[in-house]
Structure 1
């Protein structure tokens, strides 16, 4: 992992911090009915984006991410959440006209340590992300339930909100460099210690553990400023012991493409695809297997700048969702600020430096 191309990339470490900090958003939207149990998935699409697999500067770094999302759902995707919180039994016949609206405003903090000593010929980094913030959701409409010959119609609404802390999300990555080609593998997961109740419409934890692993690739030509990244993985969910429910296996891929306009500024596009590939199981899988799918795409812009003897990085990206199945559609934005060690000036070719004196 030596050479001028690799060493030039070390100055781009702040971009990778957006990845680590974003990992903690998994499961934040329990009240937002995304997928799986009651419409909630561990994986939050959009965690990875540009330069995900590039090398890093060894040492401690810190990233902070402000995340906002607003989504809505109709029909069965909304009914799944009402069934999950116990407002109607899961074994009745349902004719519904429901709408779910949900929002979240969250702050994520992600300390990460990157080792200087190679591991398996690659660069090892470990970190953990914690979060705090507010999640809210409301459900409204008309619901008709039938048990045998009897039918009951109900019209109304109810809502819920919570401001607290969420689960913890550890992560480890290994990265390798070969000229303009970069490769990575990662493993992360959910430690379910955040605010959660199976009877609440809004939560900041998901109520069960999860393990997620995968790999990625980044093409980066620092001379031309061209970059493309893609990271794919699978999530295995453990059983929720409060509900005896287990989510299916999820597949996801995040991607980013960017063009550097200067040594400090880049613009581009980001996107994701998410697909649940096995059915839910457990006490009464809501609405059958309830497999979900979503695609998202949007713009991004990033700026690198010195902060004393550290490297600062600011990134703004947003996604609009479409092709949604069994989960709400909406939009989300990520604002990332990070600080990391500055690459030593002696290791960088001046034409490839990302900071100015």
Structure 2
């Protein structure tokens, strides 16, 4: 079983890291910027499994196409329906140690993300009323470092860890050019430290090829001093159910739900409430879609795995609602 899981685990390493992760890359919305430091949905297959000692790498590409009704970017409240596109590349490296901590296997995960983001909307208020606005940003975003420990009890595998999102990505407050009817608001960084403790579990029956995985996490962020915007803590639930076959292929469903536990605060949040005529900025979103995996190949002398996933988000409030396509290549050395 462990040889099989070793082939698919780089995906998990990438996910755990990313999750715990990662993904710090998003334009700055209630959840300032409309999306949090963690790229939700990263923990899906083998979410709770920590593999044997070794080095695991994963390269993940996400294409996100979404929209939001009102957002705050770089301190600028935008009271308009906005479209956002993101192309995100994440290089994930996980080192699993040949040691024990509290009877479990320790590991560390680092995620290096690069993003290209595009924003477009039609301004509905002066001084740019009626103008078609677009903005683009690209670059290396916030690095994520995750420490974790995993345990095995028969078919049950579980882990816990803490992800730290480091504000290494470029960030700027918004500016408006009235003469040219343009804005400069997108940033690749979040300008805040964020922390995400998580607990994940995987139930895998190798003789049947059945897997059920799930994770729960809490994302807590510092206040953005540049915009005086405090994003409230958010609870995230993620999971996946897959059937794996002897051919190496697996198919299933993956999904998640995100819910802020309180309202955003600070002068930046108050300005957005006034612009939107909203009494609260508490955000939520859910997503679900098919997932396909393959393990058993080799590349560059390493065991290789791939993952393809499509996620449709729904029931979004005060947060970006998107369709997301994910492709991932994982290598276990």
Q: What is the deviation of 1:268? A: 0.7
CA distance in 1, matches of 2:119, 2:316: 19
Which residue pairs with 1:310 in the alignment? Answer: 302
Cα distance in 2 for partners of 1:308, 1:160 equals 39
State the partner residue of 1:62. 57
Which residue number in structure 1 is paired with residue 99 of structure 2?
117
User: 1:228-257 CA deviation, whole Å, 9 max, x = no partner?
Assistant: 001011011111121222110100011011
Equivalent residue for 1:28?
25
Alignment RMSD:
2.1
In structure 2, the partner of 1:86 is 76
Structure 1 residue 8: Cα displacement: 5.5
Answer whether contact 1:57 1:340 (CA < 8 A) is retained: no
Assess, with a 3 A threshold, how the Cα gap between structure 1 residues 71 and 301 changes in structure 2: closer, same or farther. Answer: same
Match for residue 257 of structure 2 among 273, 278, 281: 273
Q: Which residue of 1 aligns with 2:313?
A: 321
Aligned to 1:214: 198
Q: Does 1:168 align with 2:143?
A: yes
Which of 289, 314, 327 is residue 298 of structure 1 equivalent to? 289
- TM-score under structure 1 length normalisation: 0.82
The 5-angstrom pairing of residues 252-291 of structure 1 reads 252-285=236-269, 286-287=272-273, 288-291=279-282
- Higher-Rg structure is 1
* Inter-partner Cα distance in structure 1 for 2:189 and 2:257: 23
Instruction: Tell me if structure 1 keeps the 8 A contact 2:17–2:146.
Output: no
- Mapped contact 2:66–2:323 kept (Cα < 8 A): yes
Aligned counterparts of 1:168 and 1:224: Cα–Cα separation in 2: 38
Structure 2 equivalent of residue 19 of structure 1: 15
Whether the 8 Å CA contact 2:252–2:290 is kept in 1: the answer is yes
Q: What residue number does 1:43 align with?
A: 38
Structure 1 residue 21: Cα displacement: 5.5
Match of 2:158 in 1: 183
Separation in 2 of the partners of 1:19 and 1:167? 16
Q: What is the CA-CA distance between 1:58 and the residue it aligns to?
A: 0.9
User: Unmatched 5+ residue regions in structure 1?
Assistant: 89-95, 145-151, 342-357
Question: Equivalents in 1 of 2:151, 2:216: separation in Å?
Answer: 17
How far did 1:14 drift?
2.7
Residue 85 of structure 1 and its aligned partner are, at CA, apart by 4.0
SS in 1 for 2:262: coil
Q: 1:246 to 1:256 in 2, by over 3 A?
A: same
Q: Which residue of 2 aligns with 1:354?
A: none
311-320 vs 157-166, greater mean Cα deviation: 157-166
Instruction: Look up the SS of the partner of 1:246 in the other structure.
Output: coil
The answer as to whether partners of 1:281 and 1:289 remain within 8 angstroms in 2 is no
Equivalent residue of 1:175, what SS? Answer: strand
Q: Deviations over 1:134-164 (max 9, x none)?
A: 11111214237xxxxxxx8932232210121
Match for residue 228 of structure 1 among 201, 212, 232:
212
**Alignment check: 8 A CA contact 1:6 1:55 kept:** no
For residue 133 of structure 1, what is the aligned residue in structure 2?
A: 115
CA distance in 1, matches of 2:6, 2:40: 26
> Structure 2 unaligned runs (5+)?
175-183, 274-278
Output the CA distance in 2 between the equivalents of 1:247 and 1:153.
27
SS of residue matched to 2:72 = helix
Which of 283-292 and 180-189 deviates more?
283-292
